[in-house]
Amino acid sequence: MSTRKLFWVRWLSSLTIAGLLIVIVFNLADWKVAPSLSGSKSLVQSNSVELGPWNKFASPSGLDRIGLKPSVQSNPVELGSLNKLASSATLGRLRTNGVDLTKPLPSFNSCGAGSAVGDTYFTLAAVGDLLLHYNIINTADRQGYDYLFDKVRPFLQAANLTYANFEGSSNPNAPYSGVFPLFNYDPKLAKAAAKAGIDLVSTANNHALDTGPSGLDATLGSLATAGLAQHGTTARNAKRQVYQPFELKQNNIILKGSFLAYTWGTNGLADPYKQVNELWDANGRLRQSVKDDLARARQETELVVVAAHWGNEYQFLPTSQQIQGAKELTAAGADLILGDHPHTLQPVDLIESEGRQAMLIYSLGNFIAAQDAYQAQSFTQTSLILYLGVTKQADGKVALNGYRYLPVFIENNTRPVPLLLGSHPEAYRHILQQMRDPQGTRAVNPLNPPSSIVSICPEYTFAEASGLSIPGDFAQYFATLGTGDKSYQLSQSLALIGFPTSKVVEELSGDCSHLTRVLYTERARLELQPEANWPFRVVGTQLGTNVYFTKYKPPYASPELIPRRLNLAIANPRFKAFFQAFGGLNHFGYPISDELTEIDRETGKTKIVQYFERSRFEYVKDEPENPDPLYRVQLGLLTKEADPISKQCFNAMVKN
């Protein structure tokens, strides 16, 4: 008998009866015939800026189990016929455990005052399952394993650290297989993944023991040879590692992190040497050993990242067990939680538990897999590269700062490629929904492969304002006019806010109650409110109110007593259209005056003006309208005219 035949006989005989029964009971319902088998990083952080969603671009461009229907771990949250729907565009408002997982995340992105106060930004990238079915193995054998990553290589390399879920074995001593229940890959896959930019993988998944305990040992050897760090499993002769340490480096600043990985199970295959990290205890709750691991990682490192192999396959929303598990992981010390196993995207979320906060994605979906048979119903070929931001502040405190993502589609049932709306619009909309980003504001430009690290917190610089910049949350305000989730074009932001005129400074807030970080631009004084969510994270000082009160001396004791026109009385149609089109109440504030006429000091021309809390609308009387709606109204350069905040606060104190 040949060595390989002897391997299969021994391996199959090692399956426990209980394990076989589990596979049969859970999976017999959807048996399908399987096809036959024939034959690091040196980037620097970029200040480049991307404005606007990229879903306006268009261009042309399975089955973890080509075989058995997946097993389930727990009952999903009751969602009616959600997972019978073929189009996520019809999903509507989906709720689970009272939390709306389709609503945009108001707390992100949270970038603080930026580099101006010594903050250093890092970016992690994460992708889902590397799950090679037979057709993918055939293609890679013909064209090389690098081929699988060629279209996404620069995007994988655009982070300080990139993660993937390595779903299966890489055991050269056993036959290679790309069909359920056994997945075993040529070690060339690990080498190609490392070459493409992947640094770190989870090996804790339900296919970890697909070629047995010795096969797991061999897999860990293949990964080590390729230069891939891992956590989730342990070789039989090795001491179990509580966590995989890693370091992020940026601008000579080092952040020490830890990575931990766990799985719900191994498809009923016996684990006699306890090589695989298990997630749940006998009651379906987080194991105490997991909590102990996290406690140690929390004590010894600055950032704790957890990969959790959990959930129900082909479901768009997490189970109640996942939600509870995420809370327990957060309370135990996790900062970032990266979910896998469902083979389809599940939502991102920002979760709080026992005084701690973590960002998570319940499922990253597939990244390389051949499951197009389920695409129409479960979006199994719809994927992404998720970029996660971390800030190390000048005082050493580490905090999450947000996320971005590159929409991805698995091309020809084989390899991931950047996704554009024109080729698969339903898939694109599904990604935006699961990313809780309906406008596509956080999507990375697929037409411009990055040559540097993707920044979650870009910093705007301008030749017209040499030496000055718009950093941190001020940049987010600049890009979205304070909404936090709707992008505006650069020309619009400049027309409405103007170039920066100073560096970020610490001054009294507009209500004179406390010190805060402030950025001056030509048309606004922007105040950072770091504890508030968008759209109130950055607000404009009421310069319009101050200038109007000083210039016209209305019959009120103080600027605060000027009536706000709660009915938004904007009689001038030109002003009204501009107000509605470019920021509205959030950006300009309430109108505080009627339409007025003023003489421009520099030109001597008569202007029609109206004052708002934070702005002054104006245009030259009798001059023809500009055909561009953006320039039919100008905004006054109020930072030159307004009293310094120290004077405003002094006057307010004297009057009180």
Tell me how far apart the alpha carbons of residues 436 and 124 are, in angstroms, rounded to a whole number. Answer: 19
E strands along 251-344, which residues? 253-263, 303-309, 336-340
Identify whether the C-beta of residue 109 lies closer than 8 Å to the C-beta of residue 456: yes
Identify whether the C-beta of residue 388 lies closer than 8 Å to the C-beta of residue 81: no
Three-state secondary-structure class, residue 547: helix
- What is the mean predicted confidence (pLDDT) over 443-467? 93
- What is the mean predicted confidence (pLDDT) over 487-501? 92
Q: Shortest CA distance to 409 belongs to which of 391, 429, 388?
A: 429
pLDDT band of residue 106 (cuts 50, 70, 90) is low
pLDDT band of residue 370 (cuts 50, 70, 90) is very high
- What is the mean predicted confidence (pLDDT) over 589-611? 94
Residue 568: per-residue pLDDT: 64
Three-state secondary-structure class, residue 68: coil
Q: What are phi and psi of 204, to 5 degrees?
A: -90, 95
Quote the DSSP letter at residue 240: P
Q: What is the pLDDT of residues 116-147, one digit of tens each?
A: 788 999 999 999 999 999 999 999 999 999 99
- What is the mean predicted confidence (pLDDT) over 53-72? 30
Inform me whether the pLDDT recorded for 220 exceeds 60.
Answer: yes
pLDDT band of residue 28 (cuts 50, 70, 90) is very low
Inform me whether the pLDDT recorded for 544 exceeds 90.
Answer: yes
pLDDT band of residue 566 (cuts 50, 70, 90) is low
Which is more confidently placed, 18 or 171? Answer: 171
pLDDT band of residue 505 (cuts 50, 70, 90) is very high
Tell me how far apart the alpha carbons of residues 618 and 599 are, in angstroms, rounded to a whole number. Answer: 11
Tell me how far apart the alpha carbons of residues 2 and 597 are, in angstroms, rounded to a whole number. Answer: 96
Cis peptide before 413, with omega less than 30 degrees from 0? no
pLDDT band of residue 17 (cuts 50, 70, 90) is very low
Strand partners, 456: none
Using a pLDDT cut of 70, give the percent of the chain over it.
84
- What is the mean predicted confidence (pLDDT) over 88-93? 38
Residue 217: per-residue pLDDT: 98
Q: What is the pLDDT of residues 224-247, one digit of tens each?
A: 999 999 999 999 999 999 999 999
Residue 650: per-residue pLDDT: 87
Query: Can you name the CATH fold of 3-43+62-434?
Result: Purple Acid Phosphatase; chain A, domain 2 (3.60.21)
Three-state secondary-structure class, residue 610: strand
Using a pLDDT cut of 90, give the percent of the chain over it.
72
Q: What is the pLDDT of residues 171-182, one digit of tens each?
A: 999 999 999 899
Inform me whether the pLDDT recorded for 493 exceeds 60.
Answer: yes
Up-side HSE of residue 650: CA atoms within 13 Å toward CB? 5
Which residues touch 148 (CB under 8 Å, ≥6 apart)? 136, 139, 140, 189, 192, 368, 414, 415, 416
Residue 605: per-residue pLDDT: 95
Identify whether the C-beta of residue 241 lies closer than 8 Å to the C-beta of residue 314: no
Tell me how far apart the alpha carbons of residues 101 and 98 are, in angstroms, rounded to a whole number. Answer: 9
Identify whether the C-beta of residue 315 lies closer than 8 Å to the C-beta of residue 284: no
Tell me how far apart the alpha carbons of residues 156 and 307 are, in angstroms, rounded to a whole number. Answer: 18
Residue extents of the structural domains in the chain: 3-43+62-434, 544-655
Residue that the structure tokens 């699988």 belong to: 148
Which pTM was predicted?
A: 0.84
